[in-house]
Structure 1
Amino acid sequence: MSAVDTVDLDALAAWLRTQGVEGRIGEVTPLAGGTQNVVLRIELDGRPVVLRRPPEHPRPTSDRTIAREITVLRGLAGTDVPHPRLIAGCEDTSVLGVVFYLMELIDGVNPGEEVTPEQRADAELRHGQGLAMARALSRLGALDPTAQGLDVLRKPGSFLEKQVPQWLRHLEGYREFPDWEPGGLPDVELVARWLEEQRPPDAPPGVMHGDFHLNNVLLARTEPEVAAIVDWEMCTVGDPLLDLGWLMVTWPQEPTAMDVGGPLAQLGGLPTRKELVAAYADAGGREPVHVDWYTALAGFKLGIVLEGTWARASAGKAPQEIGQRLHDHAVGLLTLAGRVARGEWSVLD
């Protein structure tokens, strides 16, 4: 079945009318579709919109994930955080069999996939777009989750206090794969101990993207602006400075541990991490304090997450090549976190 065939267009049109969204559905083309989510470009009275739904064979959590995205996009409406505008969201699975939503189609470019001629020719534009990412992230972290109806995403207890124990348990869970070597990641115990000893006090809860990096934004084609932050499935309410740490460990400059940013990163001309932190501060959101600690936590957490694919690959449950590549990233992330913990490297150097 093709991605287009996963949506009953007559049922979709009928439901849209009940939501006050009138228009004839025209051409439908896939933007993405597979094991993650199905994303379709739909002509609605000649206006392009995007439909997002779980894959043809949904995972047990697929509907909850899409419902979370609906909640987030509703909450972001009217804010100065760049995001795709939600047109309509449906959590009634009797309509299409799954949760789904429609959003506006953003005119922007994913830097992990392509660059515009203007970006290729102008290092100053690329530099400005990097700074714009930091400013957009600062505006996100400044939102009041309760006022935006997003406090429903918050879990009880201290967000920071839970992080290290939670991710150590996650790593320990990989032992279910008998051929996985638990000693394959460097400095786990060192970093865990340092993070616990240096943990900053809890800050007021804020909205987090959860996976903020160059591949999860759409940049304006010719201006130093972010057209939209995308892929909100990991969004939660916690400590937004972890998003800033995430940007630090995924930023495509030495010392680098990730292959993020694609052709834009390869062109160079992007701001330094220190410049990103300054732009975050200048945007008027949260004060970017303890940035090295949040960077180490981000490397610790992301490294453990990526190691999961290597653990599954070791048991023949994921492609070996992908598992090896992500394991190499995980090693790089934990190595970077270890350097921070030892005082050998700082974001602000």
Structure 2
Amino acid sequence: MDILKMTRSIKPISGYNNLNYTAELEGRKVIIRVPIEDSEPMNPRMIPEAQMLSLLNNLEGFPVPRLYQSSEDPKFMIMEFIEGELINDVYPRGCRLPEQFIPQTVALLQKLSSLELIGNPLCTYFQDWPQSGDTEGFYLHMISLLEQTYLKLRGHYSYLYEMFELPDDLFERFRRIAGQLTPRPFVLSHGDLHRKNCILRNTEIVFLDWELSMIADPLYDVAVHLFKMEYLPEEQELFVGMLHDSLPTRFLAGFEHDLTSYLKAEQARALLIDSVRYVGQFHTAGTSEVLKKQLASKLETKLLQASAFWGNKCFSAEHIYDILSR
């Protein structure tokens, strides 16, 4: 069967890097996931998602979609369609999450931290990666990848970054932080846990989109999750407390300090990367006025979050909307 030919008659759900088609194959509902050919990944992709899903499918207790088929030429994946409610649709930011969400998310992170990396076939994708425990090296590597992406984007979006009045020592500020981090073992991480990547199926949370998974300091995964989730204050306190209590002691030295450092890095990444994405969406033909105002509001938030560290210039959503509309 020509899978890609079949998708031509299906309207996809488009992400930043993939097209997702819902289809019926062999009597079951599936998702056909096809990379967008011309997309420019703005985050490191280390482990092929099919390889990560295959590993987790063969382990007990990981609520993830089942992988049915993957192909490298042409590139596509066929995986289980998860019947349920997307967390972002029914519990958006500002709404209290279902009571099982935090315990099950903590359980996922705890299970990932318990997986043995020695001899794991996924380690072959990390030959030139910082060694487990080299938290300083990992932090510096992630900042270096962010800087490379920034330099690529700056050629086309220099006007945007100039408008933000970013400091001259943009990345040196982060490099000064690296030496203050505490060494801890690395783990397999999801890398992108947020409301749009979680489905409530009956009483179970199923975790989607493993394309940014990597071997990392576990607090990196936690920081990305906290930043993108925007928990209510009491929910964040509950999540951090439950996670701290569930992790082995080898992960806990420097927990609070290092988590704060990773959050700062994530705020910086979000401003540099998401601002470009928002501007692209803003100027895409057919973008509604409602969505344009939402994008301007999101950018206002990103500027405020990054300003505590960078001292960049901030603008109101209304001013951003006016600038981008010119």
Q: Which residue in the other structure is 1:77 paired with?
A: 57
> 1:68, CA displacement in angstroms?
0.9
Structure 2 CA distance for aligned equivalents of residues 195 and 99 of structure 1: 39
Stretch moving more, 302-311 or 79-88: 302-311
After superposition, the C-alpha distances for 1:4-41 in whole angstroms (9 at most, x for unaligned) are x98224xx9xxxxxxxxxxxxxxx85562476322222
Find the aligned partners of 2:277 and 2:82 in 1 and give their Cα distance.
35
Amino acid at match of 2:98: R
Match of 2:210 in 1: 232
Q: Say if 2:230 is the partner of 1:252.
A: yes
TM-score with structure 2 length normalisation?
Answer: 0.70
2:20 paired residue among 25, 31, 39: 39
- CA separation of 1:206 and 1:146: change in aligned 2, threshold 3 A: same
User: Matched residue of 1:126: which SS?
Assistant: coil
The answer as to whether partners of 2:47 and 2:212 remain within 8 angstroms in 1 is no
Write out per-residue CA displacement over residues 298-340 of structure 1, whole angstroms, 9 at most, x where no aligned residue: 34234324423535777xx55264764453242243246679x
**Number of residues paired by the alignment?**
284
Deviations 1:229-283 (A, max 9, x none): 111111111212211112222332467xxxxxxxxxxxxxxx5222112322444
Give, as a single letter, the amino acid of the residue that structure 2 aligns with 1:310. Answer: S
Of 146, 149, 156, which residue of structure 1 is paired with 2:129?
Answer: 156
Give runs of aligned pairs for residues 199-278 of structure 1, distance below 5 A: 199-201=181-183, 203-221=184-202, 223=203, 225-226=204-205, 228-253=206-231, 272-278=235-241
Aligned equivalent of 1:310: 275
Residue 165 of structure 1 deviates from its aligned partner by 4.0
Output aligned runs, 1:332-343, within 5 Å: 332-335=304-307
Normalising by structure 1, what TM-score? 0.66
Shift of residue 178 of structure 1? Answer: 3.4
| 1:102 has 2:74 as partner | no
Q: For residues 181 and 247 of structure 1, what CA distance do their matches in structure 2 show?
A: 26
In structure 2, do the counterparts of structure 1 residues 30 and 193 end up closer, same or farther at CA, with 3 Å as the change threshold? same
Structure 2 CA distance, aligned partners of 1:293 and 1:67?
25
Please say if residues 73 and 85 of structure 1, whose CA atoms lie closer than 8 Å, have aligned partners that are also in contact: yes
Provide the rounded CA distance (Å) in 2 between the counterparts of 1:215 and 1:313: 17
Gaps spanning 5+ residues in structure 2: where?
131-136, 284-291, 312-326
Q: Which residue of 2 aligns with 1:181?
A: 161
- Which consecutive unaligned segments of at least 5 residues does structure 1 have? 13-27, 256-270, 340-349
Distance 1:242 1:66, change over 3 A: closer
Contact (CA 8 Å) 1:277, 1:288: kept in 2 or not?
no
Inter-partner Cα distance in structure 2 for 1:178 and 1:281 = 41
Question: Post-superposition shift, 1:193?
Answer: 5.7
Once the two structures are superposed, what CA deviation does each residue of 1:136-171 show, in whole Å capped at 9, x if it has no partner? 122123322345422133242332232334434544
Rounded Cα–Cα distance in structure 2 between residues aligned with 1:288 and 1:219: 30
Deviations 1:82-131 (A, max 9, x none): 2111112111x1xxxx311111222332111236xxxx9xx7x7133223
For residue 300 of structure 2, the aligned residue among 303, 325, 328 is 328
Q: Distance in 2 between matches of 1:33 and 1:304?
A: 22
CA displacement at 1:189 relative to structure 2: 6.6
Identical pairs, percent? 20
1:142 to 102, 107, 114: 114
CA-CA distance at 1:70 after TM superposition? 0.8
